[in-house]
């Protein structure tokens, strides 16, 4: 609980106190909002927005989130060494469907590592790349073919199968993995969801880098600085989870951050975004 500071330099606050309540159960939380026990709720599950919106005594305020979700590939795994495989997986996933079904369309697709609310965002990149036919063609060209007609592609005796990790307490993410699994199965890719307790997930992904792919999200700062996630130095000393390394990307990150003139920096940031989108270390 926070109480009003009588000696605050700008004058006494109009509220006597602000109380923060921790309510882990979503049903109890929503009931408390309806009965007036809670005045402000900072987050509502997307599937509950229409329900809350119908309450005349409540007001839903929507605003852009400072974050994005992603499926990251561990590029240390041989199965993801070929960029065509990563691109095929990205093209096979119906991301628009994820937005509509899981978020009730309360979201938008992004093409790369800089979200649309930044001045450096590249508006020319395509946001929806879904094309199952192109995905299958890419996998064929990469040598992954369903030779025994069991529904799963193979190459050199290895099946095109991998796990997708996320935290078990996040229903939105676990539901997303089930939908992604179904999409990939249609093009002969066997992707198995693996749900972990959050602490275990942090240990496996952030500390040990023991994963095939992982569904997570990043919260961005207010300044354009994707280096802690995308520079190759961040593989060991940052959040470059998938061990992505591209010397051209590294040089663009340094040059763009040093350029103070936005008009000159924007082309550098756009080139960075295009390279990452082409390399496809994430499905954004």
For residues 96 and 109, the answer to whether their CB atoms sit within 8 Å is yes
- Is 41 in the same domain as 154? no
- Is 7 in the same domain as 80? no
| Per-residue model confidence (pLDDT) at position 209 | 96
- Is 191 in the same domain as 117? yes
| Per-residue model confidence (pLDDT) at position 66 | 84
Is 61 a member of any domain? Answer: no
Is 139 a member of any domain? Answer: yes
- Is 178 in the same domain as 105? yes
| Per-residue model confidence (pLDDT) at position 65 | 82
For residues 238 and 125, the answer to whether their CB atoms sit within 8 Å is no
| Per-residue model confidence (pLDDT) at position 114 | 96
Q: Give the rounded distance of the alpha carbon of 65 from its chain centre.
A: 12
- Is 18 in the same domain as 124? no
- Is 41 in the same domain as 118? no
CB atoms under 10 Å from CB of 105, counted, come to 11
- Is 118 in the same domain as 207? yes
Alpha-carbon torsion 75, 79, 83, 86, what sign?
negative
- Is 149 in the same domain as 176? yes
Q: How many domains does the chain have?
A: 2
Rounded to 5 degrees, φ, ψ at 178 are: -65, -40
Is 58 a member of any domain? Answer: no
Is 201 a member of any domain? Answer: yes
Give Cα separations from 172 to 101, 123, 179 (angstroms). 10, 28, 11
- Is 75 in the same domain as 186? yes
- Is 115 in the same domain as 220? yes
Range of the structural domain that residue 47 is part of = 2-53
Is 59 a member of any domain? Answer: no
| Per-residue model confidence (pLDDT) at position 47 | 78
Is 11 a member of any domain? Answer: yes
Is 104 a member of any domain? Answer: yes
Is 117 a member of any domain? Answer: yes
Rounded to whole angstroms, the Cα distance separating 32 from 265 reads 48
| Per-residue model confidence (pLDDT) at position 281 | 98
Domain of 279, CATH number, reads 3.10.105.10
- Is 28 in the same domain as 97? no
- Is 29 in the same domain as 82? no
Q: What is the pLDDT along the chain (284 residues), one digit of tens a residue?
A: 999 999 999 999 999 999 999 888 888 888 898 899 999 998 888 878 888 888 888 998 988 888 899 999 999 999 999 999 999 999 999 999 999 999 989 899 999 999 999 999 999 999 999 999 999 999 999 999 999 999 999 999 999 999 999 999 999 999 999 999 999 999 999 999 999 999 999 999 999 999 999 999 999 989 999 999 999 999 998 999 999 999 999 999 999 999 999 999 999 999 999 999 999 999 99
């Amino acid at each position: 609980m926070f109480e009003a500071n009588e000696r605050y330099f700008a004058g006494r606050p109009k509220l006597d106190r602000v109380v923060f309540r921790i309510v882990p159960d979503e049903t109890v939380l929503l009931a408390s909002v309806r009965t007036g026990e809670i005045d402000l709720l900072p987050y509502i599950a997307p599937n509950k927005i229409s329900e809350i919106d119908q309450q005349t005594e409540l007001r839903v305020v929507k605003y852009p989130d400072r974050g994005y979700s992603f499926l990251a590939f561990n590029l240390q795994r041989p199965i993801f060494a070929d960029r065509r495989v990563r691109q095929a997986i990205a093209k096979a996933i119906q991301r628009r469907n994820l937005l509509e079904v899981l978020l009730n369309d309360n979201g938008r697709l992004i093409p790369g590592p800089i979200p649309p609310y930044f001045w450096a965002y590249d508006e020319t990149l395509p946001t929806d790349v879904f094309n199952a036919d192109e995905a299958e063609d890419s996998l064929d060209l990469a040598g992954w073919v369903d030779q025994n007609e069991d529904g799963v592609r193979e190459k050199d005796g290895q099946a095109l199968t991998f796990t997708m990790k996320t935290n078990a307490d996040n229903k939105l993410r676990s539901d997303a993995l089930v939908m992604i699994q179904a999409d990939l199965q249609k093009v002969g890719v066997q992707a198995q969801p693996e749900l972990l307790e959050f602490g275990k997930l942090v240990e496996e992904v952030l500390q040990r880098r023991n994963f095939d792919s992982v569904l997570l999200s990043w919260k961005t700062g207010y300044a354009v600085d994707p280096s802690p996630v995308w520079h190759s130095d961040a593989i060991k000393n940052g959040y470059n989870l998938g061990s992505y390394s591209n010397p051209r990307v590294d040089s663009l990150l340094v040059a763009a951050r040093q350029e103070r003139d936005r008009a000159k920096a924007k082309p550098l940031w756009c080139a960075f975004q295009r390279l990452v989108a082409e390399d496809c270390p994430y499905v954004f």
